[in-house]
Every structure is written in C-alpha cells, then in structure tokens.
Structure 1
Amino acid sequence: MTLNSEPTNPSSIPPTTTEGTVAEASEPSVLDEGTFARVKEPRGASRLPLGDGTWHQLARQYVWVQLISSGLVLAIVVTAMLVLTLAFGQTWAWIPGGIISAILIWTIVITPRQARSYGYQLRKDDLVFRRGILWQRVVAVPYGRMQLVDITHGPLDRGFSIAQLKLVTAAASTGVVIPGLTQQAAESLRDTLIDVAETRRTGL
C-alpha cells in the first residue's frame, strides 16, 4: 500500500483504493488552498533537510489568529500595569509586566516567520511533521500507529475558518498537533488518515 503526497481531487484528498493506494494527482489539493508557498528553513548548513516529496503548509489566516491572540494578551498586561501603577501606586508591576510584554512583542514579531516553518508531508508509510527555526522538530507518525485523529477550533479560529488537527498514537511522545489548517483541509486530512490507518491495522 502506498500513500501519495499529491492527491487528485482539488476539493478533497482522494480516498484510498481497494489496494490501499492513493492515485496520482495533476491538480492542486485542498491541503494547499490558501496556504504559504514554501516551508521556511534555517539558514545554517546544519539544519534538518526537507528531503524529497510535497510539503503542505498552514493557512495564512493562522498568522492573523496568532497576532490577534498575542495582541489581546499584550493589551491586558499593559492595562494591568497601568492600573496597578496609577491607581494603587504599585510601581513594582512594571518589572514582571515589562518582561511579559517584551516576550509578547517578540512573539508577535516572529509569528509570521515561525508560521512558515510548519509543514507536513504524506509519505508511503507515515506522516512527517516539522516545525521551528531556532529549535527544529521533525516527527514521523506511522499510519498504523494512529489511534485518534481529533479536530478542534476555538471562537477565533472559527472566525477565520481554521482548525487544528491532533494525531494521537500509543506513545504520547509521538503525538502531533498540526495547527492552522483550513476547515476543509482538516476534515479531508482527518478522513484520509483514518481510512489509511484502518487499512494498515487490518493488514490489507
């Protein structure tokens, strides 16, 4: 059984055939609609290589969700600092508040670049997920080891029509959460992974 990384149907990932094979594709997949064009890599020569195959990325709306979330937290922290300082004379609030604000500002600055470092690849026997620029992580999840494929999204995610997909395996350390997928991509990917995982477990 093989799993091709380039599906045929532009509106969904194609289902596996009776032999467990995913057909070749000549049209773009729903996984690549509204996403970034290329995985961002570190500049160093010792970086983890991308390797061969098609890498799918996160939806562009994911950046806006992260920026809005971090911006709201930053606004709350700054407001709390001002209230404690002006209303109660607690000038010490600027120390922890300043540290938290600096971290949040840095997070906002690197969010677009960080989001482009996420990528996942559908290979013959597993799904490979990578993320990070300073701290890189690459995880390969065998299809036959998947026990649960879960989709979650909060109010802000729903407003931007994105969701996150969680892959649960027997070993907790190999679990993967892919954030920032479009709703259609998350649902299509979930259905295909479930079909392939069931085929692998039954030995077909």
Structure 2
Amino acid sequence: MSADLFCPPTETWISLSPRYLTQRRLGAAIGWGLLAAVAAVPLWIIGAPTIICLVVTAVGVAVIIWRLIRQPVIFRAWGFAERDTDLYIRSGVWIQRMTVVPYGRMQAVEVEAGPLQRIFKVASVKLVTASAQSDAVIPGLDPGDAARLRDRLTERGETQAAGL
C-alpha cells in the first residue's frame, strides 16, 4: 500500500510531546504489571508447582517488555497536519488510520487531561463534528500547544462554517 495514502498533500506532520511516550510506557508497565501479578501471585500463594509459577511470571514479564518496546513505534505513528480547510490526523501501526476533519464540520473542540496526563504535563484535543461516527482525538500534546490548537481550530471552524 502506498505511503502517500497516509500523507497530506503538502504539509508536514506535527508529532506528539515526548512526555506522552513516557506516560504511555509507565501506563503499560503499571497496567500489565498488575495483570501479571494478579495471575502469578495467587499461584504462589496456593502452592502451585514452581515451574507453573515461573512460567506465568516469565510470560507476564515478557508481555511487559514487549509492550514497552512497542510504545515508541506506536508513538511515532501518531501525527497531525493543519491545512487551510481541514485537519489530518494519522495513527496506527498494524491498522493505519487517516482521519480528515473539515473545519466547517467541527461543532466543538475539547481539551482533556486525566490524572496521569496532568502528572506528565500532556493533554488531548478532541474534535466533535457533525458526524456521529467521528472520533478525532489528538493525544499527548503539551498543554500550551493543546490550548493554541484548540483556539486555532475553533477560529478556523467558525470561519469555515460562516461560509456555509
């Protein structure tokens, strides 16, 4: 499949904040670490054979390592490009996704930051459009960049919608 399918015609991609990668790695380590512990600890407590306990623990550690190694690849797959009349958002490694949001179709632009995002000083920008199918989100932006993007998108959306 052509790489041109997932590139805007002339603009360059804007990447996410490097702090988002750190947040994703920590989230993966904690989430998968807890899941591995939930699987392995009861086996040790009930006195399961040592080999079974070691295999379950090793599988858990392998999954955590795999998830940590994958995070930079997933991180680099994300990007967005602002054009005159629309916003391009790309993501995905195995299943690549390109979302094009015309500014005139935007109804609202939301900025979100959960507890872990606030700790790592990143925010997400979510676009609400006239389509019920739209799920356009740009995660992992610096809060200042997210606020500026929200303001630019809102202004462009109002300008484009006024022409309808």
State how far apart, in whole Å, the 1-side matches of 2:48 and 2:137 are: 41
Which of 128, 151, 157 aligns to 1:191? It is 151
One-letter code aligned to 2:79: G
Larger fraction in helix: 2
The 1:94/1:129 distance shift into structure 2, 3 A limit, reads: farther
Candidates 94, 109, 119, aligned match of 2:69: 109
- Partners of 1:94 and 1:73 in 2: CA distance: 20
User: What do residues 5-43 of structure 1 show as CA deviations (whole Å, max 9, x unaligned)?
Assistant: xxxxxxxxxxxxxxxxxxxxxxxxxxxxxxxxxxxxxxx
Give the deviation of 1:160 after TM superposition. 1.5
Amino-acid identity (%): 34
Structure 2 counterpart of 1:80, one-letter code: V
After superposition, what is the alpha-carbon deviation per residue over 1:90-131, rounded to whole angstroms, capped at 9, x for unaligned?
678999987776554432211112101111111111001011
Deviation at 1:159, TM superposition (A): 1.5
Q: How far apart are the structure 2 equivalents of 1:168 and 1:100?
A: 38
State the distance in 2 between where 1:71 and 1:133 align: 20
Given the alignment of the two structures, is residue 74 of structure 1 paired with residue 27 of structure 2, yes or no?
A: no
User: Using the alignment, how far apart are the partners of 1:136 and 1:75 within structure 2?
Assistant: 28
Letter in 2 for 1:164: S
Displacement of 1:63 in angstroms is 0.6
Q: TM-score, normalised by structure 1?
A: 0.69
Q: After TM superposition, what 4+ stretches of structure 1 lie above 4 angstroms from structure 2? A: 89-104
**How far does residue 172 in structure 1 lie from its aligned partner after superposition?**
2.7
Aligned partner letter, 2:35: V
- Is there any run of 5+ residues in structure 2 with no aligned partner, and where? none
Q: Identify the residue that residue 13 of structure 2 maps to in structure 1.
A: 55
The residue that corresponds to 1:123 in the other structure is: 83
Give 2:105's match in structure 1, choosing from 137, 145, 148. Answer: 145
> Which residue identity lines up with residue 64 of structure 1 in the other structure?
T
Amino acid of the structure 2 residue aligned with 1:73: G
Matches within 5 A, 1:62-101: 62-89=20-47
Determine the C-alpha separation between the residues in 2 that align with 1:64 and 1:152.
Answer: 18
Contact 1:166–1:176 (Cα < 8 Å) also in 2:
yes
Structure 1's 97 and 87: CA in aligned 2 closer, same or farther, altered over 3 A? same
Aligned equivalent of 1:159: 119
The CA deviation string for residues 70-94 of structure 1, in whole angstroms up to 9 with x for no partner, is 1011221222223210112467899
Give the count of matched residue pairs: 160
State the Cα deviation string for residues 140-164 of structure 1 (Å, max 9, x = none). 0000111111111112211121011
| RMSD after superposition | 2.5
Alignment correspondent of 2:2: 46
Q: Is the 8 A contact 1:81 1:93 kept in 2?
A: no
